[in-house]
Structure 1
Amino acid sequence: MGKALLLYSSREGQTVKILRHIENELKETYQCALMDLHDMPEINFHNYNKIMIGASVRYGHFNKKLYQFIDINLAALIAVKSVFFCVNLMARKPEKDRPETNMYMKKFLSLSPWQPELLDVFAGALYYPRYKFFDCMMIKLIMGITGGETDITKEVEYTRWDRVKQLSERFGSL
């Protein structure tokens, strides 16, 4: 059985939810370790056959700890088979849910010295009732501008789980 490291940079938990789904898909062939890269864990990368990093976008940006983690661990990330996916609400639109069409993925690839072998993009989720007042109003404004859900009583999950399963399969055969 192989070993896979699944790292996340998540703000509201959807990225973790996606990685847990991937972990479940891989359980027959990989022993997975799930870690928060915001904790800046010291990792022995030689213990893993593959690495996947999932990161969410909030207000148009990835968390700066994602880039710090990459900078600190660049040599190790380059030396192992690796995958990166991002989670953002822009990807709820079919024309923006692919690495080559998603502006956040393009931005990541232009800023990051790490260029993973495999990339993907997933739509996240809206959890209006869970947000603090300011975040709720800002996200509602952004969603209104971009033609999304603005009812603050709703929770809407946009993640396409069939696409997550496809990434799991591609990661497993990488």
Structure 2
Amino acid sequence: MSKFIIIYSSVHGQTLKVTNYLAEKLIEQGHQVTTATLEQAPALDEFDKVVLGASIRHGKHTPGLYDFITEQQTVLEQKATSFFSVSLVARKPAKNTAETNPYMQAFLAKTPWRPNLLEVFGGNLNYQGYNAMDRNIIRFIMWITKGPIDANTNVEYTDWQKVDRYAQQLMAL
């Protein structure tokens, strides 16, 4: 069995939810799993497999993600690794793969790290969980992209069967 670490960056909690779900699935199969935020990540040397997950906020992954990758580049290149991204854009069928998701493509253009496995998941749209500024920005973006704009909307776009398949792929790394 493998020793995993899943390091995440989550703004509104959906990336953390995916992280915890993955950890549960991996543990059920007998793997050891540690989860940590980017800021609290321990040394990676003791782990066989490293998974990074990050959400999109205002069209970008957090700058701390790129800082972490730069600092850990040498270790990441020596491990089995994966990266997953969580965004509302991934709710759309034409943008729900690593190859078609613009945020994943922007990520790959911005970093020299090439994980063994890439994945994207739809996020959660919960207007009541956002501050006023974020709510208005996201509603405007949703209006432009023909998504839901009702201020009471709370829709989870994460495809949990896809997350299950991803967990299986992680075990096979």
Contact 1:40/1:69 (CA < 8 Å) preserved in 2? no
| Structure 2 gap ranges (5+) | none
- Partner of residue 16, structure 2: 16
Question: 1:173: how far off?
Answer: 1.1
* Alignment partner of 1:141 is 2:140: yes
- For 1:127 and 1:78, locate their aligned partners in 2 and report how far apart those are by CA, in whole Å: 37
Aligned residues: 172
- Partner of residue 32, structure 2: 31
Matched AA of 2:3: K
- Partner of residue 123, structure 1: 122
- For 1:139 and 1:49, locate their aligned partners in 2 and report how far apart those are by CA, in whole Å: 38
- Partner of residue 104, structure 1: 103
SS in 2 for 1:17: helix
Question: 1:40: how far off?
Answer: 5.2
- For 2:131 and 2:112, locate their aligned partners in 1 and report how far apart those are by CA, in whole Å: 34
Question: 1:45: how far off?
Answer: 1.8
Alignment of structure 1 residues 36-51 onto 2, 5 Å: 36-37=37-38, 39=39, 41=41, 43-51=42-50
CA-atom RMSD, angstroms? Answer: 0.9
Q: Deviations over 1:14-54 (max 9, x none)?
A: 001001111111112211100000x153x332211101111
Alignment of structure 1 residues 87-98 onto 2, 5 Å: 87-98=86-97
Q: Deviations over 1:128-156 (max 9, x none)?
A: 11111111111000011001111111211
- For 2:105 and 2:65, locate their aligned partners in 1 and report how far apart those are by CA, in whole Å: 15
- For 2:129 and 2:8, locate their aligned partners in 1 and report how far apart those are by CA, in whole Å: 20
- Partner of residue 66, structure 1: 65
Give the ranges of 4+ consecutive aligned residues of structure 1 lying more than 4 Å apart after TM superposition. Answer: none
| Structure 1 gap ranges (5+) | none
SS in 2 for 1:47: coil
Contact 1:97/1:123 (CA < 8 Å) preserved in 2? yes
- For 1:166 and 1:151, locate their aligned partners in 2 and report how far apart those are by CA, in whole Å: 32
Matched AA of 1:35: A
**TM-score relative to the length of structure 2:** 0.96
Question: 1:114: how far off?
Answer: 0.8
- For 1:95 and 1:155, locate their aligned partners in 2 and report how far apart those are by CA, in whole Å: 22
- For 2:40 and 2:74, locate their aligned partners in 1 and report how far apart those are by CA, in whole Å: 16
